[in-house]
Amino acid sequence: MTPLADPVPGGRPGEVERAVALASELAGRGVHGVVFAYVDTAGVCRVKTVPTGKLAAAAAWGVGMSPVFDTFLANDAIVTTDVLGSPDGDLRLYADLDRLTVLSAQPGWAWAPVDRITQDGAAHPGCSRTFLRRLVDRAEREEGLGFLAGIEIEWAVGLGAAPDDTFVPAVSGPAYGAIRQVGLSDYAADLLAACAAQGLDVEQFHPEYAPGQFELSVAPLDPVAAADRSVLVRQTIRAVSARHGLKVSFAPVVQAQGVGNGGHLHLSAWYGGENLHGTGDRRYGMTAGAESFTAGVLAHLPGLTAVTAPSPASYLRLKPSQWAGVFTAWGRETREAGLRVVTGTAGQRGRAANLEVKPVDLAANPYLALGCAIAAGLDGIGSAAVLPEEITGDPVRFDAAEARARGVRRLPVSLTEAVAEFREDEVLRAALGPVLADAVTAVREGEIAAVDGLDDERVAAAYRWKY
Ligand code: GLU
Ligand code: MG
């Protein structure tokens, strides 16, 4: 089976036999059930599970799930579009057996991401994983381009015993401080052990800036695998936290004020085995293609924000001077620009150079976020977009005239503004297709209505434990 193939009723060739063998191996390892995970338009990971003995049947015929979940809000209310949100119909969830992972911190369980198809075997137009796979496939077919992607994960750890309407950091101590690493030493070691046991290639783990906040990053993979991995990393962090009696929040902000949880995307485009971001003769080793790719992402950042920062709480994070990158600007290793050009260290640039997209949080559906970022970059390549001058330092210091002269704009300051930008972005809408594009606008508008009249503290509280 190739990971670039869509599922079919009855199972792809060889898939059912493979599931039979896998199920018996899983049973031998004490696995009783398999979690089928997907991420909805609001960014919430939702699951079904099957007993291990039903894995082969699921490989053949999928597992049923209502299409209504495409238009769920984070609070489980349901909105509708022309085609989505109806109580009618059924979709089939097909697990990607290539990604099936025995969950180290959830004894008895394995996990797999799913694609969704209709009962008649057609791709479901609302399936975000299929969307990303198709886009990656198209870039390869039409441009010969491949991608490596990674998603940083930041989260806050709270005391499990604290009431739901409060957040009490599970550890004190300074940002990046040894006190925090020691304070949650067993937790952190269990997390690294669980990741290693699951084959998750952790690059680093550290205490972050905000109270009780940590960050973990993993090695880059092809975009679909990177999105899958970000879902699995979060499942693992949740499970390890639960075993330690701790609560975990991946919400854009845990408290209304201060630095939030980012989910920065790292992306590099490759052609013929060469990294376009580190093997060229343009600025910082970019090829002309990498510059245009970067220019494309930059041009689409305002509309992209509706996909990468999808929650009303996202706009409590997206503030200047908090490393969230809230300006349409790029710079080398600049943490306040929307795009940070990462060159890597001398000696490994050809491999490591990439583009970091910062106005992204973990409320974002990673498949939609990566797919739309790639679509924006491809638009830049297709139109030979010209990358403007870089900036250094914090763009917040530019007065209006300088910002205008440099083409530096503040990104949307609210979800309402982001949706307005998204509505005007024909490139992103066309890449998503009408069903997903309408789902994005309907769900965002639903979220906006859900927090109407709430102050910042209440908005933060409304989403604190949702992601
Ligand atoms: N927590 C910051 C954010 O909201 C990012 C910090 C960092 O640069 O790692 O994106
Ligand atoms: Mg960080």
Q: Output the pLDDT for position 85.
A: 87
Q: Please name the fold of domain 15-123.
A: Ubiquitin-like (UB roll) (3.10.20)
For residue 344, the model assigns a pLDDT of: 87
3-state helix, strand, coil in the chain (%, to 5): 40, 20, 40
What confidence score (pLDDT) does residue 331 get?
A: 97
**Intrachain domains 15-123 and 137-463 with the same fold:** no
Ligand 2 midpoint to CA 338 (Å): 14
**What is the pLDDT, as a whole number, of residue 223?**
98
Q: Is 236 helix (H, G, I), strand (E, B) or coil?
A: helix
Residues 83-102 pLDDT 10s: 888 888 899 999 999 999 99
CA dist list (Å): 234 to 212, 309, 464: 16, 18, 15
Supply the CATH classification number for the domain 137-463.
3.30.590.10
- For residue 321, the CA-to-ligand 2 centroid distance in Å is 14
pLDDT for 310: 98
Tell me how far the alpha carbon of residue 247 lies from the centroid of ligand 2, in angstroms.
19
* Residue 233 amino acid letter: V
Please provide residue 43's backbone torsions phi and psi, each rounded to the nearest 5 degrees. Answer: 100, 5
Crossing angle of the two packed helices 366-382 and 288-308, in degrees rounded to 10: 140
Nearest CA to ligand 1 atom 7: 323
Give the Å distance between the CA of 157 and the centre of ligand 2: 15
Cβ burial of 64 (10 Å; 0-12, 13-18, 19+) is exposed
User: Closest Cα partner for 373 from 308, 449, 438, 309?
Assistant: 308
Encoding tokens for residue 346?
Answer: 């001398």
Sign of the alpha-carbon torsion through 28, 31, 36, 42: negative
* Cα 432 to ligand 2 centre (Å): 29
Which helix (H) or strand (E) covers residue 140, if one does? helix 128-143
The number of helices, as runs of H, and strands, as runs of E, in the chain is 14, 16
What is the Å distance from ligand 2's center to 333 Cα?
Answer: 13
- Residue 263 Cα: closest atom of ligand 1: 10
Ligand 2 centroid to Cα of residue 208, in Å, is 6
pLDDT of res. 3: 53
Q: Kindly report the pTM of this predicted structure.
A: 0.98
Name which residue sits closest to atom 6 of ligand 1, judged by CA: 323
From the CA of 322, the nearest ligand is 1
Mutual angle of helices 128-143 and 426-450, in 10-degree steps: 160
Query: Which atom of ligand 1 is the closest one to the Cα of 324?
Result: 10
Q: How far is the CA of 214 from the centre of ligand 2 (A)?
A: 8
**Mean pLDDT (10-residue bins), the chain, 467 residues:** 76 96 98 98 98 98 94 97 89 97 98 96 96 97 97 97 90 96 98 98 97 97 98 98 98 96 98 96 97 98 98 98 97 96 90 97 98 98 98 96 96 98 98 97 98 98 96
User: Which amino acid residue places its CA nearest to atom 4 of ligand 1?
Assistant: 262
Q: How big is the chain by its Cα radius of gyration, in Å?
A: 21
From the list 436, 329, 328, the residue with the least C-alpha distance to 375 is 436
Which-ligand-closest: CA of 357?
Answer: 1
Q: Pocket of ligand 1, candidates 322, 326, 339, 342: which has the most ligand atoms within 8 Å of its Cβ, to mutate?
A: 322
Q: Please write the tens of the pLDDT for every residue from 144-158.
A: 999 999 999 999 999
Q: Whose CA is nearest to atom 3 of ligand 1?
A: 262
Residue ranges per structural domain of the chain: 15-123, 137-463
Pocket of ligand 1 (CB under 6 A): 154, 209, 259-260, 262, 317, 323-324, 335
Of all protein residues, whose CA lies closest to atom 8 belonging to ligand 1? 323
Cα distance between residue 247 and residue 183, in whole Å: 15
- The ligand 1 atom at the shortest distance from the C-alpha of residue 335 is 8
Q: How many angstroms does the Cα of residue 210 sit away from the middle of ligand 1?
A: 9
Give the residue whose CA is nearest to atom 10 of ligand 1. 262
Identify residues whose C-beta is under 5 A from ligand 2, the ion.
215
Q: Where are the beta strands (DSSP E) in 274-345?
A: 274-275, 330-332, 339-342
